[in-house]
Amino acid sequence: MPDSRTLSETHLSGHRPEEIHETTALNDFLSLIKMGIVNSNMITTFTGLWLALHFTGQSFLQNIDSVLFVLLGSALIIAGSCAINNFYDRDIDHIMERTKMRPTVTGKMNPIQALWIGILLLTFGFILLLMTTVTATLIGLIGVITYVFLYTMWTKRHYTLNTVVGSVSGAVPPLIGWAAIDADLSVLAWVLFMIMFIWQPPHFLALAMKRVEEYRAAGIPMLPVVHGFAITKRQMMVWVICLLPLPFYLFQLGVPFIILATALNIGWLVLALSGMKMKDDLKWAKWMFIYSLNYLTILFVAMVLFTIN
């Protein structure tokens, strides 16, 4: 597979699709940092810090400085990691429909400029996290290393386990949020991490099924590309099953939350099981993907709502 360090000058200047839509500099920047990913991770980061405040009996307003530092710091290191991901993957992003209009592909942003933007965002992000706790900063560093090096530069192009490896980085935001308020991470913080870690494989494998031909063309060994849909669906079902006991470890959030979370888990499991019989695999994958997005939003927003006094 091509390595970004040995790309041709054509790659370095970016691939230019036949039709390049007009975009503003702001739109290009938001595309570079994958603003959708940043926003979704802010929900889980906020939930982590909110629950830490709640269970340690601290005031939100009295800790507003830590709240702002961790939210902005987390957003910056996630954005920086995504920018570096776009820099590294520019040689394959032009093949995939959902990534071919990124500024590092169209040539609207110089690759080296994108790399430096990523480095600067990471630098400022870590400075802000250091304004909270060293623990939060170290967890953030683990997330960045996992995403940039272990996922983007290593496993993504070589192993079907790339999804699992990438799930580590996606699971650390609630830990960062919690650690910024309470460096002594409780069991609840680790349960949030486990929910996020287990949620990601079925979520991203559903996307991989939807985009299987694009991943195949790009040479990315996603599970459905290498082993087919049948095995992918079985693994997705197993991951969903692993979510079933986790709400019970959050009993301190109350019975209503446990009921809601369990209902969400059962609903997802029923949908996963339906994939064993459904003939239209792509339609099923679309439903699984949509359900996963709603699942995560509802679950983490509910954690906050159920703890508002």
Residue 135 domain flag: yes
Residues of the domain holding 15: 10-184
Q: How confident is the model at residue 10 (pLDDT cuts 50, 70, 90)?
A: very low
The pTM of the full predicted model, rounded to 2 decimals, is 0.91
Cβ proximity of 206 and 292 under 8 Å: yes
- Domain-embedded: residue 210: yes
Judge whether residue 13 has pLDDT over 60.
no
> pLDDT tens digit string along 81-102?
999 999 999 999 999 888 888 9
pLDDT of residue 11: 38
Q: Which of 117, 152, 184 represents a domain boundary (last residue)? A: 184
| 3 lies in some domain | no
* Residues 209, 173 within the same domain: no
Compute and round to an integer the Cα radius of gyration of the chain: 20
Domain endpoint, select from 122, 152, 184: 184
Per-residue pLDDT tens over the stretch 249-262: 999 999 999 999 99
- The reply to whether 260 falls in a domain is yes
* Claim to verify: residue 83 and residue 152 sit in the same structural domain: yes
Share of the chain above pLDDT 90, in %: 87
* Whether residues 71 and 15 fall in one domain: yes
| 282 pLDDT tier (thresholds 50, 70, 90) | very high
- Same domain? 284 vs 158: no
Domain at 135, CATH number: 1.10.357.140
Q: How far apart are CA 4 and CA 107, in angstroms?
A: 15
The answer to whether residue 5 is domain-embedded is no
- Identify whether residues 212 and 71 lie together within a single domain: no
Q: Which of 184, 219, 253 is the last residue of a domain?
A: 184
Q: Is the pLDDT score of 16 beyond 90?
A: no
One-letter-per-residue 3-state SS of the chain: CCCHHHCCHHHHCCCCCCCCCCCCHHHHHHHHCCHHHHHHHHHHHHHHHHHHHHHCCCCCHHHHHHHHHHHHHHHHHHHHHHHHHHHHCHHHHCCCCCCCCCHHHHCCCCHHHHHHHHHHHHHHHHHHHHCCCHHHHHHHHHHHHHHHHHHHCCHHHCCCCHHHHHHHHHHCHHHHHHHHHCCCCCHHHHHHHHHHHHHHHHHHHHHHHHCHHHHHHHCCCCHHHHHHHHHHHHHHHHHHHHHCCHHHHHHHHCHHHHHHHHHHHHHHHHHHHHCCCCCCHHHHHHHHHHHHHHHHHHHHHHHHHCCCC
Does some domain include residue 278? yes
Residue whose entry in the numeric block shows the structure tokens 């197993």: 238
Q: What is the pLDDT of residue 5?
A: 33
User: Does residue 233 carry a pLDDT above 80?
Assistant: yes
pLDDT in tens, 199-212: 999 999 999 999 99
Q: Is residue 22 located within the same domain as residue 97?
A: yes
In a domain, 2, yes or no: no
Contact status, residue 140 vs residue 168, Cβ threshold 8 Å: no
Instruction: Write out pLDDT tens, residues 104-121.
Output: 999 899 999 999 999 999
Question: Are 232 and 171 members of one domain?
Answer: no
Q: Are residues 141 and 290 in the same domain?
A: no
Q: Are residues 149 and 125 in the same domain?
A: yes
Based on the structure, what is the number of domains in the chain?
A: 2
